[in-house]
């Protein structure tokens, strides 16, 4: 007579444990869905970069090989993955590519604000020149609004590619961007000449809005 | 005949007693392993949670929008999703140690930790080793279905992500159908070695339990016999 309630209690506890496990699985799935959504949402695409290397740019372009510019926010941790992927691209195409990493720096930033571990990492990549991009002037000129955004021009100054080189926000690994850059450098053609960019916004007010308002940085031209 | 039958029945009863005793010892040993491994994983889960928060705070503390910084999504994910993943396995290890549900929830939780740590470290190849380390730790249970649960959980996470967001897994939007098999191959390779190892471990445990039961029975018999001899020796006239 006394064992029956104990058995009922045990059955109830077991049922509750299974219900708890099912609720737990749902909660975990929801959490991962939010994380995936965050990581797979690209930043602002910015404006379409000029089809020819802009004459007003202060960045030197290589006359005998392709030039790749990567624009970075010096504090954006997601950009660590973009730099890792840039290192991979350069390891493969070091003989066909000159690369520059431009760190966005606000005017009123204290000295050394932009010299963090990302700057050090970029400077360590063989074949990379690291530059400051005061107030994002070059980023605006090349239509890049998101940290990790890349533009690639050929030796004659024609735009080959613009976009990101990671598959997700702060996520290393193969991506559209890398694959297309590799195809453009090896065969001269790819299915598309752009890719989504994943990273922090370079400006609070993305240049794309400025471009829509009629700023001269947007040059619409033919796509490869 | 009746004496022989009686002797046979006594031998059978003694053998059955040894088998029952061996079964009891085997089950007790298994429970001991389950509970000890549950406790180990409860500690590991809490350790992984602290580690995830440390990783997030160290490597991605803030997200930036121009000059404005906000707490990075990784910090919230490590804190909240990490707590959710840790909660059920630790609660079950505390409240219901040694039970079937507990070790399967732990297997699921451990593989979910692999997935979360891979995200928090930006998909680094090195963090993928956590999957294989976890499978090896799960083999401590010597209960091969636990390895299947772990494999199914990590494969499901990979499969769903591959369907919803293929470029995050394969780097390209329309991967060949067999790319999933390529990724699953190394996990299957790992458990194809661990499962026979678990089964061999169980076999060894059973042999140990049987030998222990036989030794116990022998020892008891010796004790009974020695007490009869002692009783006989204690009576000098030989009449009892």
B9: part of which helix (H) or strand (E)?
Answer: helix B2-59
- Render pLDDT for B135-150 as a digit per residue (tens, 0 to 9): 999 999 999 999 999 9
Quote the number of domains for chain A: 1
- Share the mean pLDDT of chain B: 88
Position B122 scores a pLDDT of 86
| Confidence class for position B116, pLDDT limits 50, 70, 90 | very high
On whether residue A142 sits in a domain, the answer given is yes
Q: Are B105 and B37 in contact (CB under 8 A)?
A: no
**Token pair belonging to B72:** 């990075």
Position B238 scores a pLDDT of 52
Separation CA A171–CA A151 (nearest Å): 20
Mean pLDDT across B24-50: 97
> Given CB atoms, is B73 within the 8 Å cutoff of chain A?
yes
| Secondary structure (DSSP) of B59-112 | H--EEEETTEEEE-HHHHIIIIIHHHHHHHHHHHHHHSTT-HHHHHHHHHHHHH
**Token pair belonging to B196:** 């026979």
Q: Select from A34, A174, A200 the Cβ nearest to the Cβ of B65.
A: A200
Position B164 scores a pLDDT of 79
- Which CATH number covers residue A138? 3.40.30.10
| Confidence class for position A21, pLDDT limits 50, 70, 90 | very high
- Render pLDDT for B186-222 as a digit per residue (tens, 0 to 9): 899 999 999 999 999 999 999 999 999 999 888 887 7
Residues of A in contact with B171 (CB under 8 A): 167, 173-176, 178-179
pTM more than 0.90: no
Residues of B in contact with A39 (CB under 8 A): 119, 168
| Confidence class for position B171, pLDDT limits 50, 70, 90 | low
- Closest residue in A to B106 (Cα–Cα): A21
ipTM: 0.82
| Residue whose structure tokens are 């772990």 | B150
CB-CB under 8 Å, B92 with A17: yes
CB–CB contacts below 8 A, A to B = 118
CB-CB under 8 Å, B122 with A24: no
Position A205 scores a pLDDT of 55
> Given CB atoms, is B76 within the 8 Å cutoff of chain A?
no
Separation CA B223–CA B232 (nearest Å): 14
Position B99 scores a pLDDT of 95
- Give the three-state DSSP class for A145: coil
Nearest CA to A150 among A212, A56, A81, A222?
A81
Nearest CA to A149 among A139, A171, A164, A134?
A164
Best mutation target among A11, A15, A19, A21 (most B Cβ atoms within 10 Å) is: A21
Mean pLDDT across B90-97: 96
On whether residue A169 sits in a domain, the answer given is yes
Position B173 scores a pLDDT of 60
Residues of A in contact with B170 (CB under 8 A): 174
On whether residue A51 sits in a domain, the answer given is no
Percent of chain A with pLDDT over 70: 88
On whether residue A188 sits in a domain, the answer given is yes
On whether residue A3 sits in a domain, the answer given is no
- Closest residue in B to A169 (Cα–Cα): B122
More confident residue, B235 or B226: B226
| Confidence class for position A206, pLDDT limits 50, 70, 90 | very low
CB-CB under 8 Å, A201 with B64: yes
Position B8 scores a pLDDT of 82
Q: Which residues pair with A104 in a beta bridge?
A: A133
| Confidence class for position B159, pLDDT limits 50, 70, 90 | confident
β-strand A128-134 against A149-153: which pairing, if any?
unpaired
- Measured CA distances, A181 to A69, A73, A124, A154 (Å): 12, 22, 22, 11
Q: Is the pLDDT of residue B172 over 70?
A: no
On whether residue A148 sits in a domain, the answer given is yes
- Render pLDDT for A104-117 as a digit per residue (tens, 0 to 9): 999 888 888 889 99
First to last CA, chain B: 29
**Token pair belonging to A219:** 């040059």
B216 half-sphere exposure, CB direction, 13 A CA radius? 16
Find the domain containing A108 and state its range: 66-195
Q: Is the pLDDT of residue A22 over 80?
A: yes
A98: part of which helix (H) or strand (E)?
Answer: strand A97-105
Position A109 scores a pLDDT of 83
On whether residue A154 sits in a domain, the answer given is yes
> Given CB atoms, is B41 within the 8 Å cutoff of chain A?
no
B141 Cβ contact list (under 8 Å, min separation 6): B33, B34, B37, B103, B198
- Render pLDDT for B47-72 as a digit per residue (tens, 0 to 9): 999 999 999 999 999 999 888 999 99
- Share the mean pLDDT of chain A: 87
A140: part of which helix (H) or strand (E)?
Answer: helix A137-141
On whether residue A34 sits in a domain, the answer given is no
Q: Is the pLDDT of residue A24 over 60?
A: yes
Separation CA A148–CA A165 (nearest Å): 7
Phi and psi for B19 in degrees, rounded to 5? -65, -45
């Amino acid at each position: 007579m006394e064992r029956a309630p104990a058995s009922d209690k045990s059955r109830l506890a077991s049922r509750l444990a299974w219900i708890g496990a099912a609720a737990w699985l749902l909660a975990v799935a929801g959490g991962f869905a939010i994380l995936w959504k965050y990581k797979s949402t690209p930043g602002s695409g910015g404006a379409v970069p000029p089809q020819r290397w802009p004459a007003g740019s202060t960045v030197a372009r290589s006359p005998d090989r392709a030039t790749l510019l990567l624009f970075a926010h010096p504090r954006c941790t997601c950009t660590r993955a973009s730099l890792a992927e840039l290192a991979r691209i350069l390891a493969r195409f070091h003989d066909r590519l000159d690369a520059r990493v431009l760190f966005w720096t606000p005017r009123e930033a204290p000295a050394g604000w932009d010299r963090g571990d990302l700057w050090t990492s970029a400077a360590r990549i063989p074949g990379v020149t690291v530059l400051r991009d005061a107030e994002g002037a070059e980023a605006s000129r090349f239509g890049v609004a998101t940290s990790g955004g890349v533009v690639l021009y050929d030796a004659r100054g024609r735009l080959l590619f613009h976009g990101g080189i990671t598959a997700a926000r702060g996520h290393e690994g193969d991506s559209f961007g890398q694959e297309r850059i590799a195809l453009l450098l090896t065969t001269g053609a790819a299915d598309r000449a752009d890719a989504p960019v994943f990273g922090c916004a370079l400006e609070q007010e993305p240049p794309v809005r400025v471009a829509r308002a009629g700023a001269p940085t947007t040059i619409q031209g033919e796509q490869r | 005949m009746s004496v022989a039958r009686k002797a046979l029945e006594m031998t059978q009863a003694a053998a059955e007693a040894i088998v029952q005793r061996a079964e009891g010892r085997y089950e007790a040993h298994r429970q001991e392993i389950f509970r000890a491994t549950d406790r180990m994983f409860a500690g590991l889960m809490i350790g992984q949670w602290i580690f995830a928060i440390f990783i997030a705070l160290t490597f991605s503390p803030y997200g930036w929008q121009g000059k404005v910084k906000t707490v990075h999504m990784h910090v919230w994910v490590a804190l909240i999703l990490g707590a959710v993943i840790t909660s059920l396995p630790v609660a079950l290890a505390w409240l219901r140690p040694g039970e079937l549900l507990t070790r399967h929830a732990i297997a699921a939780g451990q593989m979910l930790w692999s997935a979360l740590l891979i995200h928090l470290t930006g998909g680094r190849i090195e963090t993928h080793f956590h999957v294989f380390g976890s499978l090896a730790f799960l083999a401590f249970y010597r209960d091969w279905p636990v390895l299947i649960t772990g494999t199914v959980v990590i494969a499901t996470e990979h499969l769903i992500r591959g369907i919803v967001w293929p470029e995050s897994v394969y780097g390209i939007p329309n991967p060949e159908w067999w790319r999933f098999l390529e990724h699953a191959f190394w996990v299957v390779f790992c458990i194809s070695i661990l499962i026979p190892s678990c089964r061999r471990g169980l076999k060894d445990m059973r042999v140990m339990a049987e030998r222990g039961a036989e030794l116990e029975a022998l020892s008891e018999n010796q004790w009974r016999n020695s007490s009869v001899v002692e009783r006989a020796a204690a009576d000098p006239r030989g009449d009892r």
